[in-house]
Amino acid sequence: MNALLLLLIAPSPLVVQAGDYFPPEQLHINLGTSPDVMHFNWLTFDNPPQTDSFVMLGTSAHPSDFSLNISGEATVFTDCGSQQTKRTIHTAMVNDLLPSTTYFYQVGDAHHGFSDVNSFTTAPSADTLSSSLPHTFLLFGDMGTVNTQVCGPATQMVLDGEVSAVIHAGDFAYNMYENNGTTGDEFMRDIASMASNTAYMVSMGNHESYYNFSHFTQRFRGQPLPSTATNAPQSVWTQSGEAPNNWFYSFNYGLVHFVSVSSEIYFDFPWLIPAQYQWLTDDLETANQNRSSAPWIIVYHHRPLYCTGEGSECGSQAEAMRSGVDGGNYSLEAAYYKFGVDIVTTGHVHNYERTFDIYDGKTEQRTTDMTATTYLVNGDAGNREGHHTFDANASWSAYRTTAYSFSKLKIYNATHAHLQQITADSELPPSDQGAVLDDVWFVQNNHGPFEGRTKRETVTESEGVTYDPYKEYGIPMKVAPPHELRPIPFISEDKADYRGVEGVHF
């Protein structure tokens, strides 16, 4: 039996031998803070690291024409499970790229092999913006390795060249740490075709909390760092060691300023709430000064502020982030209202729900010239737990469904955005696959802070649409268990340096 055959039948590449072959895998790319930057991330199973971290890149599809050869860096990531598995995380940043340009690339090294040739298109600059519109973003959360409903159709849209970036708002793999991290490996391989051909931008969820979010933090190195101008921490600590801060950050793409926030800080690291909140308000204030260039502001994090699902997910958990903690401070809703955040997209609750514009529980039911933030729950991309059912309807709830689905958001110009909720549910009849459920245009002629705007005197309120395809077709629906309810402790001044705190989570 030759060495190659032995490699192919080996159950796991956890033990390495001299002369082993370490090809790059689990490749994904991330946007930078400007259109000329792209981050590349991949993994190899060599320990100690033997592979180099090269990106070969060019505007022609043939590798012999690649004109850039960029060297990155390798970091050993030690899993905290019983086997203490070591993985080598490779990261590389390429800058000075042309805007709105399609590039082809490979990663790896000459001794251990390169990846397949993949491609991506860079973000637009001010000069290329008008010709590159519309920009399409896929929004979803809560996708696992089992029952991965959205991964296939989302990947196809990416490969068809439709997608500018993917936004995944928490809960990956279910769970990345399991089986000594091999579940995380499986998930990263599942998304590789999608995430290697368009930017895959992420925020952390409650299912990433094991070992102080080590798998999320280490595997998704390369997300943009928060601006140093805001005095935000540039690194965070996990049980696997220190890593660049990808817990909260922001970036621009065309007409949109995107902001990634950690809702999990509110529940697992409350002493970090002030630092994140100060960064958030500073970032949104700066974004408002740039609204002539990036008028839309979209925030994403895992847990929702508004939803009608049953249980604490839409009760005390949402209330804590909506109203604030420690005597009513650090309210996310207040920040979004003050600085005019247009859309907030989340996960956590395993269904889809779109609100009308809402603040302090009140809505004008607008999708044109909204006077408050619109919230999306996008937590039904597919996982092993099942769906969350709905509680009583509310006047601020515009549309909700239990179908596995994801959002396609198209930004057409400074005033018009088109949202479609697309079915990806193999439990429903084939005719329903790819069906558009929710379909709405957002028109905002006056981007900016919502505070001080004149509101209509009377509002005709009516309940929104609820679509339960399982009930309609008489198909049994697996109902997800409620999430664990953990009260938020008071913010403790003596835990400002959380690296020395043991047992913060699990």
Q: In the structure encoding, which two tokens stand for residue 138, read together? A: 């896929």
Q: In the structure encoding, which two tokens stand for residue 379, read together? A: 């937590």
Dihedrals phi, psi of 131, to nearest 5 degrees: -80, -15
Asked whether the predicted pLDDT for residue 306 surpasses 80, the reply is yes
% of the chain with per-residue pLDDT over 90: 78
Please name the CATH architecture into which domain 133-452+464-491 falls: 4-Layer Sandwich (3.60)
The pLDDT of residue 477 is 94
Q: In the structure encoding, which two tokens stand for residue 410, read together? A: 């198209």
Dihedrals phi, psi of 136, to nearest 5 degrees: -115, 130
Give the residue, 313 or 12, on which the prediction is more confident.
313
pLDDT tens digit string along 86-112?
A: 999 999 999 999 999 999 999 999 889
CATH number of the domain located at residue range(s) 22-120 in this protein: 2.60.40.380
Of 16-30, 306-320, 449-463, highest mean pLDDT: 306-320
Of 369, 365, 381, nearest to 460 by C-alpha is 365
Domains 22-120 and 133-452+464-491 share a fold: no
Q: In the structure encoding, which two tokens stand for residue 181, read together? A: 């991290």
- Give 2-41 as a 3 state SS string: CHHHHHHHCCCCCCCCCCCCCCCEEEEEEECCCCCCEEEE
Neighbours of 149 (CB within 10 A): 24
pTM of the model: 0.93
Q: Which amino acid is at 81?
A: G
Q: In the structure encoding, which two tokens stand for residue 29, read together? A: 């790319």
The pLDDT of residue 449 is 97
C-alpha 416/C-alpha 439 separation (Å) is 13
The DSSP code sequence of 462-491 is ---EEE-HHHHHT---PBPPPPPP-PPPPP
Of 261, 357, 256, nearest to 300 by C-alpha is 261
Taking a C-beta distance cutoff of 8 angstroms, is the pair 370, 341 a contact? no
The pLDDT of residue 482 is 82
Asked whether the predicted pLDDT for residue 6 surpasses 70, the reply is no
C-alpha 318/C-alpha 326 separation (Å) is 15
Q: Where are the domains of the chain?
A: 22-120, 133-452+464-491
How would you label 189-225 residue by residue, b for 16+ Cβ within 10 Å and e otherwise? Answer: ebbbbbbbbbbbbbbbbbbbbbbbbbbbbbbbbbbbb
Choice among 44-53, 131-140, 177-186 with the minimum mean pLDDT: 44-53
Q: Which amino acid is at 157?
A: M
Asked whether the predicted pLDDT for residue 506 surpasses 80, the reply is no
Q: Which residues pair with 344 in a beta bridge?
A: 299, 375
Give the residue, 485 or 253, on which the prediction is more confident.
253
Neighbours of 327 (CB within 10 A): 8
Asked whether the predicted pLDDT for residue 499 surpasses 70, the reply is no
Q: What share of the chain is helix, strand, coil (3-state, %, to 5)?
A: 20, 30, 50
Question: 436, exposed or middle or buried, with CB in 10 Å at 0-12, 13-18, 19+?
Answer: exposed
Element (H, E) at 157: helix 151-159
How would you label 439-473 residue by residue, b for 16+ Cβ within 10 Å and e otherwise? Answer: eeebebeebeebeeeeeeeeeeeeebeebbbbeee
Position 194 confidence tier, pLDDT thresholds 50, 70, 90: very high
pLDDT tens digit string along 206-260?
A: 999 999 999 999 999 999 999 877 788 899 989 899 999 999 999 999 999 999 9
Give pairs for 311-318: CB < 8 Å, separation 24+.
311/388, 311/482, 311/483, 312/482, 312/483, 312/485, 313/348, 313/349, 313/388, 313/482, 313/483, 314/349, 314/391, 316/485, 316/487, 317/267, 317/348, 317/483, 317/485
pLDDT tens digit string along 50-88?
A: 999 999 999 999 999 999 999 999 999 999 999 999 999
Give the residue, 207 or 270, on which the prediction is more confident.
207
335-342 average pLDDT score: 98
Neighbours of 21 (CB within 10 A): 16
